[in-house]
A and B are shown apart, each in its own frame.
Chain A
Amino acid sequence: MISPASTRRFWETRATALAWRINFAAWLALAAPASFFVASAFSIAFYALRRADASLATAWLALAAALALAALACAWRARRGFFNAAEARVLIESQLRLDTRLTAAAAGLVAWPAASGHPPAVVRWRLRAAAGWLAASVILLSGAIYAPVPRDAGGVHASGPPPALRQTESMLAALKEMNVADAQSVEQLAERARELARRPPEEQYSHSALEAADELKNQTAVSAASLARGLDSAAGALNAANNEPDMKGAAGRLAAALSGLRDGALPPNKDLLANLPAGEIDLKGLSAAQRAQLAQQLANAARGLRGVAGAAGAGAQVAGPDGKGVGAGGGPGGGGGTAPLSFAKDASDAGDGNAQALTGDALKRFALGDKLGTTRGAHDVDPANAVGPVSAGAVAAPASGGEAVWVDRLTPAERSAVKNFFK
């Protein structure tokens, strides 16, 4: 027979154990989401420390301290929901339908109920949410600890200026060394490059700085290519002069080439311009050998310039005036082969003053300020047919009082309204 003391002990032990279980569950209900927030913060810290190659030992200690603090705070906050043994006893007797006999027995009113070996559990765990929080915490921390860290991510630590700027500087150095282009224009481009290079290293790799460097590189390359094209044109005119008896056509082409060179974004060296024949008389003043030598020098200079432009990967497809296209002239981005002269589908030499169709793709090869071609002409106006300016809303004929006035010229707004009406 079981003694009353042992039955009492049995139920009190059960009640105390249940109270502990409930209190742990109340603490866990708060601690699980709290651990997630702590883990989130420390995951960021761990990852940042790993990227900075710093030691994690202190961070681990801080994490342990933070978790301990969070656990204490959760216990403090959950304490109002904690059960004592008497409250747990009420839960047991209500769940087991003991007719409040445990409470009455504790008050000494009735005997303690018989202790069964294994009374059914009065509560069951609902750990899905808590387990989710804890699992998410572990996953976050694991990710922060084991995820690979990109060493060169961001490019902030890259040494030196951006590649585009370096290429621009090398192009400008080459232009200076060649002494073909106007020194002042080259200096202007160099000043812009220096301005970009003066920026702090972390700003040089910002989006806007990279874009500016690219733009400057392209502009320099295109300008050099344009200058090369002008020199080629002049060389072509000089070679043509040797084959023409009167040299008139060659003189015209030479004049057009010189005009294009002067008006280009990167004009040639002033001494070079001064040495070139300015007109038909100067052209005739040179011997055939001198013209050929001069053309050869210009072609060499143009080749060198194309090499400079091609080194930047731009201007490689700029064709020569002979219509056969020219090579890129070397350099890593210079490309190989030739480019067609024509911007249209069928190649044709439009000649001075003639219109030539440009495809949309062709326009990309020209920089702002490049002159594609010039023509001379005058307005062809027939004074007999000129009616002079006519204002909208003019009446067909003057009217005296009471007569209808017909308006035969409408303002654009009126015309639009009438159009809409008859639509």
Chain B
Amino acid sequence: MTPAPTPTPPAEAELTQAAASLDRLVATLQTVLFGQEELIELVVSGVLARGHLLLEGLPGLGKTELVKGLAHALGLTARRVQFTPDLLPGDITGNPVLEETPTGRRFVFQRGPVFANILLADEINRASPKTQSALLEAMQERRVTAGGETHTLPDPFFVLATQNPIDLEGTYPLPEAQLDRFLFKLDVHSNPPEVLKRIVLNRELGAEPVVAPVVGREEFTGLLALVRRVHLPEVVADYIARLVHASQPGASAASAGVRFGASPRAALALAAAGRARGLRHGRPHVSFEDVQAVARSVLGHRIILDHAARLDGATTAGVVEKLLAEIPAQAKPLPGTLAAAKIS
């Protein structure tokens, strides 16, 4: 098997231009959602990595506004679907409809809301597993098969889903296979008083913020292509591999209580998200810091704890923190007569 050709790393000028575009995008999103700079950075990185995002948080924190603002800022088509228990797969993917034509009756595929650049799946955990599964093919292969025909989804295609962590009645937790297809699972936290004050002063109930497109579709497509050219050094790839492997049960001290570790798709997700973050910070390569910055969002929902660990109060976020602390950037451990210095 011949290795994949190494893409040319982005040039300095390309990096500068990309950084400027992304700065505009981030600045625009910060006018939509106040006080969530880190979340916005991760959302932008996730989108640049062509990943699907799952936002989890209490109602009213601005999850939907952020997704809509992102769609507007990028000038992409966006559809929103409110997931409910009675939602059917065809309500998302589309249905074949019997149509009267001059040549006779025939079934014509009526496209569903999934045929958009951005699908906002609001409260995705309220739909039945069957409906949730309808998104699997769309998310992984970016196409829909209905009535024996396969329909390709628009490019780019993202699913930005939200879910409410407190309502358990009438919800269907996403299965692991579905969760694994989300690049990031991002927690949307509540706002501190100063941010709330900004919201009260700048917003009005029921009035949506006006967001103008700041990054054109072509420009955004160019950014997506540029991300793929970001160089992944072998030492960083090795770090990703060791990090993901260490999440397997028994592979490290940090994985105590883990029932199932992260999958190889998680390693790919780390690399892709690392590339996107590298570009966001104007670098032609991925750094260890990039991987560490996205590891919590990439690995957190892909690690499954056993019951005993959960009863002991362990969390996947805690496991990821331990993994990051335990696995060093360098491949070999330091000898016992040396220790890494604490550098502030």
Contact = CB atoms under 8 A, between A and B. Distances in A.
A54 B160 CA distance: 87
B338 A94 contact: no
Interface string B225-241: 00000010101100000
Interface residues of A, number: 37
B284 A104 contact: yes
A297 interface: no
B308 interface: no
Interface in B181-223: none
B337 A124 contact: no
Interface string B278-312: 00010111111110000000000000000000000
Interface in A76-109: 78, 81, 83, 86-87, 90-91, 93-97, 99-101, 103-104, 107, 109
B90 interface: no
A94 B341 contact: no
20 contacts: A26-B337, A78-B335, A81-B333, A81-B335, A83-B330, A91-B328, A91-B334, A93-B329, A95-B341, A100-B233, A100-B236, A101-B287, A103-B233, A104-B231, A104-B285, A122-B341, A123-B338, A124-B338, A129-B337, A130-B337
Given A93-B329, A100-B287, 4 more contacts: A81-B333, A87-B330, A109-B9, A124-B341
B1 interface: no
A125 B343 CA distance: 15
A65 B273 CA distance: 56
B332 interface: yes
Contacts of A250: none
B283 A110 contact: yes
Contacts of A121: 341
B227 to A, nearest CB: 15
Contact of A109 (B285, B328, B331, B336): B285
Interface of B: 9, 231, 233, 235-236, 281, 283-290, 328-341, 343
A25 interface: yes
A121 B338 CA distance: 12
A129 B337 CA distance: 8
B72 to A, nearest CB: 32
A91 B330 contact: yes
B239 to A, nearest CB: 9
Nearest to A32: B337
Interface of A: 21-22, 25-26, 28-29, 32, 78, 81, 83, 86-87, 90-91, 93-97, 99-101, 103-104, 107, 109-110, 120-127, 129-130
A31 B156 CA distance: 59
B285 A83 contact: no
A239 B53 CA distance: 131
Contacts of A32: 337
Contacts of B9: 109
Task: Describe B's contact surface by its main secondary structure.
Answer: loop
A87 B334 contact: no
A114 B233 CA distance: 21
Task: Describe A's contact surface by its main secondary structure.
Answer: helix
Nearest to B344: A120
B329 A126 contact: no
A126 B337 contact: yes
Contacts of A107: 231, 233, 285
A97 B288 CA distance: 8
A94 B334 CA distance: 14
Nearest to A92: B330
Most buried by A among B283, B332, B339: B332
Nearest to B341: A124
Nearest to B283: A99
A95 B343 contact: yes
A196 B328 CA distance: 75
Contacts of B284: 104, 109-110
B18 to A, nearest CB: 15
A397 to B, nearest CB: 81
A110 B281 CA distance: 14
Most buried by A among B331, B333, B338: B338
B20 to A, nearest CB: 19
A100 B285 contact: yes
A237 to B, nearest CB: 92
A100 B288 contact: yes
Contacts of B236: 100, 103
Contacts of A100: 233, 235-236, 285-289
Contacts of B233: 100, 103-104, 107
B62 to A, nearest CB: 31
Contacts of B338: 21-22, 25, 123-126
B67 to A, nearest CB: 30
A88 to B, nearest CB: 8
Given A103-B233, A104-B233, A107-B231, A127 B337 contact: yes
B285 A110 contact: yes
A81 B332 contact: yes
Contacts of B333: 81
A100 to B, nearest CB: 4
Contacts of A110: 283-285
A121 B341 CA distance: 7
A245 B284 CA distance: 141
A29 B9 CA distance: 42
Contacts of B335: 22, 25-26, 28-29, 78, 81
Contacts of A94: 288, 328-330
Given A99-B281, A100-B236, A104-B284, A125 B330 contact: no
A93 to B, nearest CB: 8
Most buried by A among B290, B330, B335, B341: B335
B240 to A, nearest CB: 12
A86 B235 CA distance: 9
Nearest to A110: B284
Contacts of A81: 332-333, 335
Contacts of B329: 90-91, 93-94
Contact of B334 (A78, A104, A123, A129): A123
Contact of A99 (B287, B328, B334): B287
Nearest to B329: A94
B289 A97 contact: yes
Given A100-B233, A100-B285, A109-B231, A87 B331 contact: yes
Contacts of B341: 95, 120-124
Contacts of A86: 235
A358 B290 CA distance: 100
Given A94-B328, A99-B289, A28 B337 contact: yes
A228 B320 CA distance: 98
Contacts of A104: 231, 233, 283-285, 287
A168 to B, nearest CB: 65
B339 A126 contact: yes
A123 B288 contact: no
